[in-house]
A and B are shown apart, each in its own frame.
Chain A
Amino acid sequence: MIQDLFSVTVLIGILASGIRLATPYLYAAIGETFSQRSGVLNLGVEGQMLLGAFAAFYVSLRTGNLWLGLLTAMLVGAVMGLAMAYVTVNLQAQQGISGIGFYLFGLGMSDLLFQKLMPTVETIRGFPRIYIPGLSDIPGIGEIFFSQNILVYSAYLLVPVAWFVLNKTTLGLKIRAVGENPDAADSLGVSVARVRYFTIILGGTLSGIAGASLSIALLNVFQQNMTSGAGFIAVALVYFGAWRPIGVLGGALLFSMVNALQLWVQVLNIPIEPEIAVMMPYVLTILVLVATVSRVRAPSALTKPFEREN
């Protein structure tokens, strides 16, 4: 019943689930943050994740080497990013729409490869949990924060790294300049095209890792359309987080924990219709957007192709 929600087991369970569920969102949304800060909306994240998930799983299954699998996923994501960059930067295609095209491509291609190359669903041993000595023994906290696998740790490590790169380095300055005022950046000798190529390919690579984190670290299985919309949620989280890595982290955790809460609500037999419970994370996202949006502004050049004035 409802008071059971506040027991220690449940709270630890929700936090631990939330931390794990947030991992793929973090990789994908941090990658998307980079490309949006440079002015490019990549709606193809879902497709990049699916192909990354399949590539990582298949290569790991066949070679037995998880790192090789992860590398392949990154490569696949990067190649899709490269294609996206060519289409949006050189050919100046509308970004949202071509992103949907890349999504459909990734969805169809991962399905095609899955059915051609694998006779049935298989499982592998993914990245093992790493118990951080000492810390993982702390009751509660240890289970939540210090006994996850390597891809979970590095996802959280990525947040401060991304913050540092965006805000404290020349590269970050260039990325922000290109996203806010490409004409000015261009006149100062920054290559808009080169910066955007970099961020889109980086975004693709991170989306590839996001897919891999599902298929070879968290779930250790590949199934048709297994990301189930996570890529689109990741794009939403970038808006939610107001284009800042720390905001993205908050959004990803909030979204995941509400999802985890929803699972517990059913397990504890709290009389809420499951379909209504499933809605909660999405309703919450909209509410938070309404509450925070007056204070933030999107990068000015977002979704606008750059064309040098002659």
Chain B
Amino acid sequence: MRNTLYRSSAIALMTAMLAAGPVWAEKTLTIGMTAADIPRTSGQPDQGFEGNRFTGIPMYDALTHWDLSSETEPSGIVPGLATAWAVNPDDTTKWTFTLREGVTFHDGSPFNAEAVVWNVQKVMDEAAPHFAPDQVGATKSRMPTLVSARAIDDLTVELTTTQPDSFLPLNMTMLLMASPTHWQSLYDAVDAAVTDPKERAAAAWSAFAFDPSGTGPFEGDLFVPRERFEMVKNENYWDPARTPTIDRVVLVPLPDSNARTAALLSGQVDWIEAPAPDAIPRIQAEGNVIYSNPQPHVWPWQLSFHEGSPWLDKRVRHAANLCVNREELQVLLGGYMGIPKGSVEPGHPWWGNPSFDIRYDPDAARALMTEAGFSTDNPVKVKVQTSASGSGQMQPVTMNEYVQQSLADCFFDVELDVLEWNTVFTNWRKGAADESARGAHAINVSFATMDPFFAMVRFVSTETFPPVSNNWGLFGNDEFDALIADARTSFADADRDAALARLHTRIVEEAPFVWIAHDVGPRAMSSKVGNVTQPKNWFIDIAPMTIEE
């Protein structure tokens, strides 16, 4: 009788436990972003690279990925959803990508060549039913030569470019693969009263943003516009090394740096981007950890080669590069600045071997200026357009005032023209000869150097003069066009890198910039967050991170 009672009790207890399910505390990582809104969640994020960092690569994969596993080496590309790629030797405008087998989207549908074609069409083909105009801007300029895709078989896809372009595999890191099947189901569910196909497509994309489906290590779970976005781990992720141990990631937009700092110090979030610099000692004193690493980023003065510009004299350009005391500026910024030697750094595959050494040497700078005909009594007048704030601009006014003061020692009389960020950003595309330049001889807009087009080509090609692209200073000649063409048509990785190194060498030697700083992307994390690798990259991989309960 007693045994029966025990047995019945044990069975009842086990049944109750099974019914209740396993009981554990969910491991949640909460991140305070600098963005004022949740970046787009439907596959091609906005809000710059912060968008890709938090709602892009955690939820979606691309054909190629940045290798984010090293803190010391520059990030290269590694296979993502494509396991191999090669250019067609007979027609170098065509590339073949071999796709990874057995990958499924979060909704369970298979990833295949048709899905790649669909994702190319979403931003390239206006006639496609799922064409998404609001995703075009953030995507198309990142892959300027891509025009179309064609499925060869289930796991092979051919991409076509407008001209031979060895940069394509690098560019493809930015095309994130969304699920066509899931989108179609949302399209079919749009209210029948909406009959215009474009409106139905827009409504489907809007629904997709709330219920996204990619192939990444995290899946979208809860979206409260402008307030929070929650992702949960994808336990079936195809890469075991990147299958998350964190159960849930919560993204909170906190545009004000003091608010972010307060949120971290009060324990509301575990990680903040770009903490207020003067709060860093306090953040560290509370046991939090600051991570930083020079990013592929340049904070320069881009110089004008328009008629009458003082920068037409190479001695003046070199003198300015030699007269900025970057070590002192680094101290001014609390140490959170990288000291540049060019657009990329020594050790980078594209570095080369420039004969001009960017350093602080005011005596050499003054000698060059004297040779160019300038002196204390006859300083060269330069006007620089900059912004009061802005994405990637670090602390523009403080830094420009420092540079202004520094250059005064070398016979430069610098006038700063400080404008609102979006206005400067717009002017950047109009060029030094446009009236929007207001007579400026240089413009201060920082830029990313992740891929060769963004890092170099757009600033030194005669094909990228305004308003086509960002060669604001109108710098370029046949030599540089030939170097660019050589790089674009060197399809073996080593050959391409060697050609880019030759291009970078000449850029540094000709100095169309005054290279002033690299951002180091400081972020603060609670000591509970573990297995953090801060790469030399704008992105960071959340998937392998851990968090203590």
Asked if chains A and B come from one complex, the reply is: no
Q: B residues bordering A, Cβ < 8 Å?
A: none
Q: A residues bordering B, Cβ < 8 Å?
A: none
